[in-house]
Structure 1
Amino acid sequence: MPALRGFFTAIFLLGKASLSSDNAVAALHQWGAEQIQQDPADLPELQMVSGDASFRRYYRLFPAAQAPLIAVHAPPDKEDNESFVKVQKLLFDNGLRVPALLGWEREQGFLLQEDFGGQLLLPLLESTEIAEPFYLQAMASLQAMQAIKVSAGELPAYDRARLMQEMALLPDWFIEQLLGYSLSETERKMLGEVFELLCDSALAQPQVVVHRDFHSRNIMVLEDKALGLIDFQDAVLGPYTYDLVSLLRDCYVSWSPAQVQAWALAYRAMLVDGGVPVAEPEAFLRQFDLMGLQRHIKVLGIFARLFLRDGKDGYLNDLPLVITYTLEVARAYPELAEFVAWFEEKLLPLAQQQSWYRVVSL
């Protein structure tokens, strides 16, 4: 059985939008009705679908005699809607199942898109037997996405500066602000060396289209049982193991290390069958592991920041699994022994004192 972590059971439940608290909702309703050439007075009020870790808010629009649509308010001063529209077109035009974009109002940050329904992949992952067909299907989508040819500059590069900037969230937000631990210069130097090692591994990999949040909360099961992808606006050109480890070492559901390795090697076999140059199995698993460590170091910082800066405490419940992933992977590599010993001696006791902490077994 998998371990489900911190699933927001209401993330796609319907609830009436509060017009009094958000005047933009009324404007979004008006605009959405205009896009489908219907009178807003004839349409029900928008219904809240979800918010996420960003400032985007999603609402369901109910046209007369048509299937529901999703209306999005993504404030342009806080969200990069240009990137969303650009990446949506790239993926859609290359046959990926992403929501069709039906309208975009640049100045107010309004978007109208296809409604994929409400079935996230996460709550369906009740056992390995149930999960495996979904994961094989998700990996087929991933393979198709990685096969997309992009021109230079079409997507941002997941370069060293970006990778290092992400990992800097660990000391800045998780270590110093959430745990209250002050790093010495020696400790900062040690972390910097670990970060450089992870960057070197990532940048040595084949660079492909990377979704960047390819996991069970961003994969939807559609009515025809196909898998739909959402939350793709941060796509970059980056390492070919990034999305794979995001899927298989998901921050919200966990599987045994043996099962994760088996699925990772199954994806490698898919790449080989597709004629993609790929590292030998042992080297591929090292790339996969170190890429996951980079991601989970980043996520520790992001989840801490979501709580401390944005007041979103739900992600604290997911920190124990991410800590477990971090230590599990790092313990397997002798060159990370100093990092592991330091984390276990200095940080783990502080984490264990937190109300959100629990022991997670894989």
Structure 2
Amino acid sequence: MNLPTRETLRLAWVREKLQDPEAALERASSDASFRSYWRARSGGRSWVLMDAPPDREDIRPWLDIADRLIRAGLHAPDIQAADAERGFVLMEDLGDRVLLQELRQTTVDRLYGQAMDALLRMQLRADADGLPDYDEARLVAEMELMPEWLLGRHLGFTPECGQWDVIESAFRALVENTRRQRQVFVHRDYHSRNLLVTEVDSPGIVDFQDAVRGPITYDLVSLLRDCYIVWPEDRVYGWAEDYRLRLQGAGIAVPEADGFRRAFDLMGLQRHVKVLGIFCRLWYRDGKAGYLQDLPRVWKYTREVGLRYPETEGLVRLIESAIGDRDLSLPI
């Protein structure tokens, strides 16, 4: 007996939920996970169908976080229907104006302003109770992707015992930085590819299913030191300081400017060390080559920030020696 294909199941499910046997689907996008997104059209309207095969991904965390964000007054997509057993969600269509594509010198202050308005609301209002803690085990496990996939798989470099000491010392410093920070709701991937410019309540927020309770600078540095676009340092620090003052004005205890900048820098370094590994894994394990093109940008962030702090300089020098004159964007 032939089982129905995923494509057949997907189309039948959306037609049932829209009560339209003529409803059509067209691919909208995919991401770094196993999820895919399809635009459903019926009666002159459109929705987005998320397809997350249940043997690969559980949509229940996604549904939980969507509800938390909506209750906090944020523009996560409204849910029309969901089926956790089959891995389908039919939701509001937020459009296709991805923030990254809209960013220009003339628009960035306004668009980042909207994104930081939403971030402040998220950090002040979104319920973080019951979310996983962004604890030492989780942070270190993320950073360990770098020696495994960047150094080992991408560069063919195996650290010696003394070099592992350098790596672990830097990792401890980066973890310690997170412990000193106020813990809030963290989207964990709050950047220009996961924010959409919408006509009302912009930005729309997506890809939030991995939210945790963690450091207050994490989402801010994810936005301002985005792995997909670079802005001059003076602008980045200016935006970060403006945000610090807004937190302060909202009654949130934050360090003074120098302390906040250090926390921001080291938090970004933790994220970028992780991403150096993730982008390599996306190619070598998952066959998604496009992310290698972003490695040089992420390495530039890592190098520039890491060399500013004695706790992380050794780690950067080690990675630098492993890279040599290699073009990071090219696979082995």
Q: Under a length normalisation based on structure 2, what TM-score does the superposition of the two structures give?
A: 0.95
Q: Does 1:56 align with 2:31?
A: no
Per the alignment, residue 322 of structure 2 pairs with 347
Runs (4+) off by over 6 Å: none
* Equivalent AA in structure 2 for residue 226 of structure 1: S
Tell me, yes or no, if the aligned pair for 1:202 and 1:239 is still in contact at 8 Å. Answer: yes
Contact 2:145 2:277 in 1 (8 A): yes
Cα distance in 1 between the residues matched to 2:285 and 2:325: 20
How far off is 1:89 after superposition?
Answer: 0.6
- The aligned amino acid for 2:67 is K
> Is the Cα–Cα contact under 8 Å of residues 169 and 311 in structure 2 kept in the other structure?
no
Report the number of matched residues. 329
Secondary structure of the structure 2 residue equivalent to 1:155: coil
Distance (whole Å) between structure 1 residues aligned to residue 305 and residue 100 of structure 2: 23
Aligned to 1:36: 18
Residue 253 of structure 1 aligns to a residue in which SS?
Answer: coil
CA drift at 1:300: 0.4
What does residue 331 of structure 1 align with? 307
Provide the residue aligned with 1:91 in structure 2. Answer: 69
Q: Which residue of 2 aligns with 1:150?
A: 127
Deviation at 1:341, TM superposition (A): 2.6
What does residue 258 of structure 1 align with? 234
- Which of residues 199, 203, 217 in structure 2 aligns to 1:227? 203
* Contact in 2 for aligned 1:317/1:356 (Cα 8 Å): no
Which runs of 5 or more residues in structure 2 are unaligned? none
1:180 aligns with: 156
Equivalent residue letter for 1:264: A
Q: Could you tell me which residue of structure 2 aligns to residue 9 of structure 1? A: none
Structure 1 residue 88, shift from structure 2 partner:
0.6
Q: Is the contact between residue 75 and residue 205 of structure 2 (CA under 8 Å) also seen in structure 1?
A: yes
**Structure 2 residue aligned with 1:110:** 88
Match of 2:247 in 1: 271
- DSSP 3-state at the match of 1:116: coil
Letter in 2 for 1:91: L
CA distance in 2, matches of 1:336, 1:174: 17
Matched, 1:134 2:116: no
1:189 deviates by: 1.6
Q: Distance in 1 between matches of 2:310 and 2:180?
A: 20
Match of 2:9 in 1: 27
- Asked if 1 retains the 8 angstrom alpha-carbon contact of 2:128 and 2:213, the reply is no
Deviation at 1:343, TM superposition (A): 2.6
Residue in structure 1 matched with residue 143 of structure 2 by the alignment:
167
Provide structure 1 residue ranges, at least 5 long, that are not aligned to the other structure: 1-21, 358-362
Distance 1:308 1:327 in 2: 23
What is aligned with 2:103? 125
Query: Aligned partners of 2:294, 2:266: CA distance in 1, in Å?
Result: 20
Q: Which amino acid aligns with 1:112?
A: L
Q: CA deviation at 1:354?
A: 5.8
Contact map agreement 1:179 1:350 (CA 8 A) in 2? no
CA separation of 1:151 and 1:136: change in aligned 2, threshold 3 A: closer
Relative distance call for 1:141 and 1:354 in structure 2 (3 A) is: closer
2:68/2:126 contact within 8 Å kept = no
1:355 partner SS: coil
Q: Which stretch shifts more, 176-185 or 143-152?
A: 143-152
Q: CA RMSD in A?
A: 1.7
Q: Distance in 1 between matches of 2:63 and 2:48?
A: 15
Instruction: State the Cα deviation string for residues 160-204 of structure 1 (Å, max 9, x = none).
Output: 100000000001111000111111111112101100100000121
Offset from partner CA, 1:273-298 (integer Å, 9 cap, x none): 11111111100000000000000000
